[in-house]
Amino acid sequence: MEKTNRLGFYLALFLTVFIPFREIISYFSVGAIKFLPDILIWSYASILVIKNRFRLHLQTYDFAFFSFIVFGFISTLINSTSLLAFGLQVRSIGTMYLFFYVLRCVNFEKKHYDIISKCLMAVVTVLILFAIVEFIGDKTVLFPDDWSESIIYASNFVRTYSMMNNPNTFAFFCFTVMLFVYYNNRMNQKIIHYVFYAAVILMILLSASRSTVIALGMFYIFILLKAIREKEFKGFVKMLSVVLASAILLICLNQIKAVVWNSNEGGMAIVDRFEEVQSDEIIDKSNTDGRLFMIKKGLQIFADHPVFGTGFGTYGSAGSRMVTPELYKEYDLAPNLYADNEYIKVIVETGILGVLMYAIFILSLFKSCFKDSYKMMAFIAFVFIGMFYNIFEIQSACLVVYIIFACIDKAVAEENKNVTVSKKNL
């Protein structure tokens, strides 16, 4: 394996370990360590570009993404907003996208994907063990006091955060890892894989992340349709058994927790979370300072800045959380606002022209995924989750999804080649 490719493999391996534990590492060290992935990715990308003599081999979606960044800069200049906020926003969405480019430039073999898959399984297993202790101990054992004290709502306190300090991020990371492990081992599923899937689904239920549960349902529809098309239902039945096992484990853990705390409460956070969606109290709260509020307020701001938007890092994004935009005073918005919606953020910050460029990027990426059903499933789940989070800013989510986007084609090609060779030998 060539030195540059080997270095790229070690980088990918390091990120699969560091990024999921980044919150807990920074908690016990310094906050600046969160920027370590940025330093490593940008440094390696520079080495790669120089080695390739600045031949970039860009795809249509790369040009669209770069155009979107350029337009964000133009919008920032037109609105005279913070260049620092622009830079922070570019960093938040650009670093992992650069990692995606790097993955497409290096030449990994199937064995390297297998190692990454096993590494991700090990990482998630550690997160799961911590989450189980967190759940049974009701955030009093191992879980940092500062984290538990920062949880305002009781409905969130019962959700599982693990070492990622966010139930939604934890759930979606586990889900994307399950996708990658399932795809990478689709021709050779073992008992250990099904045990892993059951544990991941259990964590998704404990996190009570509604959006990830829906994405999980979409995944099951996908494998059902694939089973119908191939007229092979054995794998689908096994995956249904995994759900049953997860449900049984969830009931058992709830009973264990009740015994430990001598409590008669048998409610489950995931059930409560779905039931509360229809409650007037939750709807009012969402309209006051939740996701519905963000959408309505965003459309109001968009109506005032329809063409160029308000500029990068100005509405509920990573940049705006670090540099409070001046327009927040005009629209009476809280300083620490977060959009929790990738698309309303783009609409407000870049206007109609920016949305067009963003749409070209998404559609061209969609086209590149269209030829592979596994990639397509990952893409659909990723885009769907964007309705609930600023998905391109979440490094742990982008990490695994970009690995799927970049690696599946190569893995499938190698796998098909091996099958062809085997048939010829027969």
Mean pLDDT across 153-182: 93
Residue 187's pLDDT is 83
Which residue type does 321 have?
R
pLDDT score at 371? 80
Q: Is residue 418 part of a domain?
A: no
179 and 58 inside one domain:
no
Q: Is the pLDDT of residue 147 over 70?
A: yes
Same-domain pairing of 166 and 273: yes
Residues 183/374, Cβ–Cβ less than 8 Å: yes
Average pLDDT, the chain: 89
The average pLDDT across 202-219 equals: 94
User: What is the pLDDT, as a whole number, of residue 288?
Assistant: 66
> 258 and 126 share a domain?
yes
Side chain identity, residue 143: F
Are 80 and 169 contained in the same domain? no
- 182, 70: one domain: no
Give the tens place of pLDDT for each residue, 344-388. 999 999 999 999 999 999 999 999 888 888 889 999 999 999 999
The pLDDT of residue 274: 77
Flag whether 399 is in a domain. no
Final residue in a domain of this structure, among 220, 249, 278: 278
Structural domain of 129: 113-278
pLDDT tens for 402-416 read 999 887 655 545 555
Co-location of 67 and 31 in the same domain:
yes
Q: What's the predicted TM-score (pTM) here?
A: 0.91
pLDDT, position 393: 93
Residue 414's pLDDT is 54
Shared-domain flag, residues 335 and 365: yes
The count of other CB atoms within 10 Å of the CB of residue 244 is 10
Residue 245 pLDDT greater than 70, yes or no: yes
pLDDT of residue 282: 66
Same domain, 269 and 126: yes
267 pLDDT band, cuts 50/70/90, is low
285 in any annotated domain: no
Q: Sorting pLDDT into bands at 50, 70 and 90, what band is 306?
A: very high
The pLDDT, as a whole number, for residue 29 is: 92
Answer whether 325's CB lies under 8 Å from 80's CB: no
In this structure, the answer to whether residues 223 and 186 fall within a common structural domain is yes
For residue 404, tell me if it sits in a domain: no
Ramachandran class of 341: left when φ > 0, alpha when ψ lies in -120 to 50, beta otherwise: beta
Q: Mark which of 338, 357, 374 sits at the end of a domain.
A: 374
Q: What is the pLDDT of residue 21?
A: 96
pLDDT at 419 over 50: no
Higher-pLDDT residue of 277 and 28 is 28
Q: What is the pLDDT of residues 268-303, one digit of tens each?
A: 778 877 777 666 666 666 666 678 889 999 999 999
Give the separation between CA 64 and CA 40, rounded to whole angstroms. Answer: 24
pLDDT band at 31 (very low <50, low <70, confident <90, very high): confident
Provide mean pLDDT across the span 235-263: 92
Q: Mean per-residue pLDDT for 227-243?
A: 92
Residue 425 resides in a domain: no
Domain presence at residue 420: no
The reply to whether 397 falls in a domain is no
Q: Which of 47-56, 94-103, 261-270 comes out lowest in average pLDDT? A: 261-270
Q: Are residues 118 and 100 in the same domain?
A: no
> Does 426 have pLDDT greater than 80?
no
Contacts of 119 (CB under 8 A, 6+ apart): 13, 16, 17
- Place 156 in a pLDDT band, splitting at 50, 70 and 90: confident
State residue 423's pLDDT score. Answer: 44
pLDDT for 409: 55
Is 144 inside any structural domain? yes
Same domain, 326 and 196: no
258 and 131 belong to one structural domain: yes
**How many domains does the chain fold into?**
2
